[in-house]
Chains A and B, each alone.
Chain A
Amino acid sequence: MKAAVIVFPGSNCDRDLKRAFEQAGLGVEMVWHKDTSLPKVDIVGIPGGFSFGDYLRCGAIAAQSPICREVVAHTERGGYAFGVCNGFQVLTETGILPGALLRNANLKYICRTVGLKVETTESVFTKGYGLGDEIGVPIAHHDGNYFADEATLDALEGENRVAFRYTDNPNGSARDIAGILSSNRRVLGMMPHPERAAESAHGNEDGARLFAHLTEVLSDA
């Protein structure tokens, strides 16, 4: 079971994500954004941070980097991917996931633990939770206000692809959406940081279950 974690200039949660994958039993290889090929891996992690200084739009420059072409190809082949925070922004900018992340409605950078409701257990990422479970996961972002047109939002809900909703919407996200799945349910993008709530030293282990089932499902894949 192997994971790749992509590192962009400005990534700052890459090692946190590596550690969370490792705690779940995955081998992890760090991959630089200029690399033109991915190692043979089951899942690609796109970490949080401020890739390329958030210039132009959050995630926009990263989405055009050489490695992201490979990440798109990996997901088109049915490979798994997980993007957190800036990683979610990169996934929307590449078109792997629909929608976009706008500036928070209150214009503030928000850094605190928020409540999330688990909206589906039908994915490798959320099967460790119970449907409707409420968990606490930290957010740390300025541009986490999820936007998509009404038709896209209806489709996400109709296909049971909303993974998490905020219990008390902090940033103005459409329909309280905090994280969404791809149509094949193998790609998850979310603004909150489960990798920062994944072991006892973090003071909160609610995020650990998101990683816990990766090895078993990936070994079946």
Chain B
Amino acid sequence: MKARVHVMLKNGVLDPQGEAVRHALGALGFDGVSGVRQGKVIELDLADGTTEATVKEMCEKLLANTVIESYTIELS
């Protein structure tokens, strides 16, 4: 089984990389992009039967820093 973890900076935490991408899109002529937030996707190959609770523990302990980041988990 697989899990896909999306990690994003929390709302309210400045994302200078997202801002730089937003500026670059504007420079390319894409009007109307009012905000860009950049995060990361972490794909995990897991033993069958791994619970969402275990993946959540991985997120809390290592994959995300919950001081600045939020995360969502997709299992498939």
Instruction: Indicate, yes or no, whether A interacts with B.
Output: yes
**Which residues from 81 to 105 on chain A have a C-beta closer than 8 Å to any C-beta of chain B?**
92-93, 98-100, 102-105
B65 at the interface (CB under 8 A from A): yes
Q: Mark B6-26, 1 if CB is under 8 A from A, else 0.
A: 000100011011001000000
**Which residues from 47 to 61 on chain B have a C-beta closer than 8 Å to any C-beta of chain A?**
61
Given A64-B62, A107-B20, the answer on whether A92 and B67 have CB atoms closer than 8 Å is yes
Instruction: Tell me which residues across on chain B come within 8 A of A102, comparing CB atoms.
Output: 9, 13-14, 16, 68
Instruction: Tell me which residues across on chain A come within 8 A of B14, comparing CB atoms.
Output: 102, 105, 145, 147, 172
Complex formed: what's the CA distance from A142 to B63 in Å? Answer: 20
Complex formed: what's the CA distance from A143 to B62 in Å? Answer: 18
Is B67 within 8 A of A147, CB to CB? yes
A148 at the interface (CB under 8 A from B): yes
Complex formed: what's the CA distance from A148 to B67 in Å? Answer: 7
Instruction: Tell me which residues across on chain A come within 8 A of B20, comparing CB atoms.
Output: 107
Complex formed: what's the CA distance from A61 to B17 in Å? Answer: 22
CB distance from A165 to the nearest CB of B (A): 19
Instruction: Tell me which residues across on chain A come within 8 A of B61, comparing CB atoms.
Output: 64
Is B65 within 8 A of A57, CB to CB? yes
CB distance from A206 to the nearest CB of B (A): 29
Instruction: Tell me which residues across on chain A come within 8 A of B17, comparing CB atoms.
Output: 103, 107
A41 at the interface (CB under 8 A from B): no
Complex formed: what's the CA distance from A169 to B48 in Å? Answer: 50
A151 at the interface (CB under 8 A from B): no
**Which residues from 1 to 49 on chain B have a C-beta closer than 8 Å to any C-beta of chain A?**
9, 13-14, 16-17, 20
Q: Could you list 16 further interchain pairs (A-B, Cβ under 8 angstroms) beyond the known A92-B67, A107-B17, A147-B13?
A: A56-B62, A56-B63, A60-B62, A60-B65, A64-B61, A99-B67, A102-B9, A102-B13, A102-B14, A102-B16, A104-B16, A106-B16, A107-B16, A145-B14, A147-B14, A172-B14
Query: What would 7 A/B residue contacts be, using CB atoms closer than 8 Å?
Result: A60-B65, A100-B68, A102-B13, A105-B16, A107-B16, A145-B14, A145-B16
Closest 7 CB pairs of A and B: A100-B67, A100-B68, A107-B16, A105-B16, A103-B16, A100-B65, A107-B20
